[in-house]
Structure 1
Amino acid sequence: MAEHTVFTLPQVAQHKSKNDCWLVIHGRVLNVTKFLEEHPGGEDVLLESAGKDASKEFNDIGHSKTAKNLVFKYQVGVVQGYTSNNNEYVQVAATEEPIKRETSAFVIRDERRPKYDGLLEFIVPLLAAASYFCYRYLTRSS
């Protein structure tokens, strides 16, 4: 793995404008200036964290693996004195574009049912209720 430039937090704090936006995520110094317009949450989210450690905010959002791998694309260095946790994500070597999978949560399935199914679902409970009330009427004590 290539060696990265080591920055201090005060050095990173100098880069907190729209034209020069750096932040720290898990000890990695990121230059996200070119990513500001592409960020799905808008550039304001990144500008709020500019120049400081945004690891907590990054974790709280629950980013996808693709988003976590973008960290490596924009990394320009590491923060001095940072120690990593074993829980951190690791870079996944991607040799090709990720496969885009559609979610089935919003797919409406067109399952064909016989036309009389709806009628049976209505009539069977109606007949059961009518039978119960007839039984109660005929067996009540006079």
Structure 2
Amino acid sequence: MDDMVFASDGSFYFSDFKGDSTNPIGGIYYVDKDYKTITPVITRLAIPNGLALTPDEGGLWVTEMARNQLIFANLNKDRKSIPPYGTSIPYRFQGMNGPDSCSIDRDGNLYVAMYEQGRVLVFNDKGIVQKAGNPTP
């Protein structure tokens, strides 16, 4: 388990930080609010890392570190499954070190930390880069 994000009902998603670009064995899993049932949501990922739920909880953003990409998944109403053709890759990152953790604000803007780069990329709710910067303490 690497990153996790909670839904408003107490259920949560977590990333299984496994695999690589030639052996994608990682995944995203949903844990029911009773903490007894775990359901795979997205499988065959190459080091899935950051997770963020959209403000309406109808979509899930995932950073896939080993493939250097940002994934968006539309969630079915059950929040445990994705409709056919329900995922997209709105952005592919460049360079050696890929995307790490991410977070979302109430307007749906996604903030992605770049591993060992000291910078953050900000995407709008469509996955289009709005800002790139190096935050300083």
TM-score by length of 2: 0.23
Larger Rg: 1
The structure with higher relative contact order (CA 8 Å, sep 6+) is 1
TM-score by length of 1: 0.23
Higher share of residues assigned strand: 2
Higher share of residues assigned helix: 1
